Structure formats: C-alpha cells, structure tokens
C-alpha cells in the first residue's frame, strides 16, 4: 500500500512538472511574440517620401498643434512638442494633458537642439512649415511629415496613427468623432437647422478675414451638413484684408467671429474687431439682428486645428444652434484661450 502511494505521488509530481514546463514554454512564446512585434519594422508613406520605423515609438516629438491633439486623443503624450499658438505654453483645452512635455520651439521656428536632447525615436511634423529642416530632423530620428494643415484634420490623424503604430486607436478616434457628427446632424435636422447658413469671421491686428471652405471650420460645417453663405463657399482659405465696406459679405443666419490675440498683440486684434462690430453696417446684418452673432474662442474654432478642438467646436455649435435663447453672446473661452502667447515672430495661423 505504501509503495502504491509513493508511486502515485511520483506520478503527480511528474504531471505538475510537465504542466509547469508547458506553462513556462507558453509564457516564453508569448513574450517572444511580443518582443518580435515590438521590434518589427514598418514603412510609412509621407509627404517627403517614405520612412521606416522600428517597433512602436515611445519617445515622440510633434511639431504641429493639430498633431499634438491627434497624439493626445490616441492616448499618447509626446516627450516634446511645439508650443501652442495661443497659451503659455499650451492651449487651455489641452494644458492638463501636457504636464511634463518639453517645448521645442514653434511650428514656424523649431528648436533642433532641444529636439535632439530629447532623444526621440520618432518626429512628426509638416511639409507646410518645416520642409527646410527635414534633412536635419531625419538625422535625429525617423521623421514623418504631413503635406499640409488646413482643412480636414482626419487624413493627418490617419497618417500619425500609422506612424505611431496605433492604427486601430486612430480609427477609434475618428469613429467617435463621426458618431458625434451624426448625432448632432440628426438633432439639427429634427429642428430644421440644416438650411441655416454659417459665417465665420476672424480678426487680427490690422486685418479682418472672412473664412471659406478650405479651413478647419469649413470642414466641420461640411461634416455636419450645414450650409455656408454663397460668398463663403469657395474652396480656398479666406477673403483677406476685408474692409468695413465689405461687412455685408460677413452675413449669415449665424455669424461666429474670433480675434487672434497673442501676448504681443497689445489689444490690436480686439481693436480691429471693434472697428467692425461697432460699425452700423454690422448692426444691419440679419445674423446680428436675429441675435445670432457670437464671439468664440480662436483657439478652439481656428488656431488649434485638431481633433480635440473639433469635438469642442461641435459641442458649441450644437449649443448655439439649438439654444432656446437667441442672444448676442461671447463664448466663455473666447478671451481666456486667446489671451496669451509667447512668440513675437509667429505668422497668423489658420486651419
């Protein structure tokens, strides 16, 4: 009896030993697969040609404002980024997600030394702003450039998602956006708002612009199925250098306007804005007379140009168009998001 018991114990130990070996082998195989996946190379077609990237990048430097928002939306915090056009150094609507991120210059004036010090394994930029620095950037790390920034942000987000090896997450971000678009579109349709025309006007120091379709706001209005005034349906950026005599071209059922006011502006953008909104011709616009002229955040409605701003803008558009009270208003973020900036030499951004 004792012999049989000892044989049974020996067999049992052997079974557990084999099971342990199998489990260890399985774990090792899984770890090996993960290691192989993380070290595999892939090629990304981009504005400057093709870029080969090894493994999933961990230390990413991003050189556009909309690219920063794309990464954040996909759950990736860059190690370095160009500062926001408005903010100190980040837009109000992303600053809580950017703690610890190093500033590497501006979109129009990147700091190559600061970028190199971060030892990135991927750099994301744009041909529109940084074409001349491309060779220097790719000498630091694999570099992927978008072609341009204005208009629809979705193609760029798809490019960035491929570059950071998170295409599934990128598709998820875009699906969430499109689901929101459909939901708001259906609400607008139910309230007979789809035939309302949306006008967008922007002021900066010494200049007024009426924005057209090839812009950030133009793309979003189109996504929602809303209309633009006839004079604003052109597939370009804007009517530039608008004079007070051209105020009638600013009209629409709803008029949204913003002022690009960086820290070195010294109130000049608001002064330009007041020149127009205090003009008798402005007060005769049907959108103004209906109480549907609204000042909004330049950061969210224009300057940021990314998916986070796009979602916030849709929320605000929905609120303005479906609000039961139609009164002249100022978006609460309009002044705070446009009040500070730090680069004196920045061109007027426009998406």
- pLDDT tens digit sequence for 207-216: 999 999 999 9
pLDDT band, very low/low/confident/very high, at 16 (cuts 50, 70, 90): very low
pTM of the model: 0.83
* Domain boundaries of the chain, sorted by first residue: 41-165, 172-336
- pLDDT tens digit sequence for 187-206: 999 999 999 999 999 999 99
Q: How many CB atoms lie within 10 A of CB 184?
A: 21
Q: How far apart are CA 335 and CA 298, in angstroms?
A: 9
The pLDDT value given to residue 323: 87
Q: How far apart are CA 265 and CA 35, in angstroms?
A: 52
Report the topology of domain 172-336: Rossmann fold (3.40.50)
- pLDDT tens digit sequence for 240-289: 999 999 999 999 999 999 999 998 888 999 999 999 999 999 999 999 99
Q: Let me know how long the chain is.
A: 351
Closest CA to 321 of 177, 151, 184, 176: 184
For helices 307-322 and 216-224, angle between their N-to-C axes, nearest 10 degrees: 60
Checking if the pLDDT of 111 tops 80, the result is: yes
DSSP, residue by residue, 17-82: HHHHHHHHHHHHHHHHHHHHHHH-EEEEEETTEEEEEES--SSEEE-SHHHHHHHHHTT---SEEP
Q: Matching CATH topology for 41-165 and 172-336? A: yes
Comparing 19-23, 318-322, 338-342, which segment has the lowest mean pLDDT?
A: 338-342
Percent of the chain as helix, strand, coil, to the nearest 5: 50, 15, 35
The pLDDT value given to residue 295: 98
| Mean of all residue pLDDT scores within the chain | 86
Comparing 98-107, 122-131, 145-154, which segment has the lowest mean pLDDT?
A: 145-154
pLDDT band, very low/low/confident/very high, at 38 (cuts 50, 70, 90): low
Percentage, residues of the chain above pLDDT 70: 81
The pLDDT value given to residue 21: 47
* Mean pLDDT calculated for residue range 308-321: 97
Percentage, residues of the chain above pLDDT 90: 77
The pLDDT value given to residue 348: 54
Tokens, residue 108: 């129009």
Checking if the pLDDT of 1 tops 80, the result is: no
Pair 80, 112: CB distance under 8 Å: no
Checking if the pLDDT of 2 tops 50, the result is: no
CATH architecture designation of domain 41-165:
3-Layer(aba) Sandwich (3.40)
């Amino acid at each position: 009896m004792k012999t049989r018991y000892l044989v049974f114990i020996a067999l049992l130990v052997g079974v557990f030993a084999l099971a342990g070996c199998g489990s260890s082998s399985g774990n090792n195989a899984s770890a090996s697969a993960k290691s192989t996946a993380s070290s595999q190379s892939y090629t990304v077609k981009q504005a400057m040609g093709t870029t080969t990237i090894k493994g999933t990048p961990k230390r990413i430097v991003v050189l556009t404002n909309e690219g920063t928002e794309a990464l954040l939306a996909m759950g990736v915090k860059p190690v370095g980024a160009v500062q926001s056009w408005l903010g100190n150094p980040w837009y109000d609507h992303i600053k809580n997600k950017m703690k610890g991120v190093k500033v590497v210059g501006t979109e129009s004036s990147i700091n190559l030394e600061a970028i190199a010090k971060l030892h990135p394994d991927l750099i994301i930029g744009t041909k529109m702003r940084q074409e001349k620095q491309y060779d220097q950037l790719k000498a630091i790390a694999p570099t992927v450039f978008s072609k341009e920034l204005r208009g629809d942000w979705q193609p760029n987000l798809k490019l960035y998602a491929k570059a950071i090896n998170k295409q599934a997450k990128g598709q998820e971000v875009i699906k969430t956006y499109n689901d929101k678009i459909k939901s708001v579109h259906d609400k607008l349709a139910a309230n007979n708002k789809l035939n309302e025309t949306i006008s967008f006007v922007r002021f900066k120091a010494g200049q007024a612009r009426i924005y057209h379709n090839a812009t950030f706001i133009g793309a979003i209005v189109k996504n929602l199925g809303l209309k633009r005034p006839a004079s604003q349906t052109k597939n370009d950026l804007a009517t530039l250098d608008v004079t007070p005599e051209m105020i009638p071209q600013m009209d629409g059922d709803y008029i949204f306007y913003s002022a690009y006011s960086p820290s070195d502006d010294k109130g000049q953008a608001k002064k330009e804005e007041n020149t127009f909104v205090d003009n008798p011709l402005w007060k005769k616009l049907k959108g103004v007379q209906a109480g549907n002229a609204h000042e909004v955040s330049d950061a969210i409605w224009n300057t940021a140009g990314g998916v986070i701003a796009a979602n916030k803008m849709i929320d605000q558009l929905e609120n303005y168009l479906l609000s039961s009270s139609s009164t002249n208003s100022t978006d609460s973020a309009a002044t705070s998001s446009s009040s500070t900036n730090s680069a004196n030499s920045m061109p007027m951004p426009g998406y």
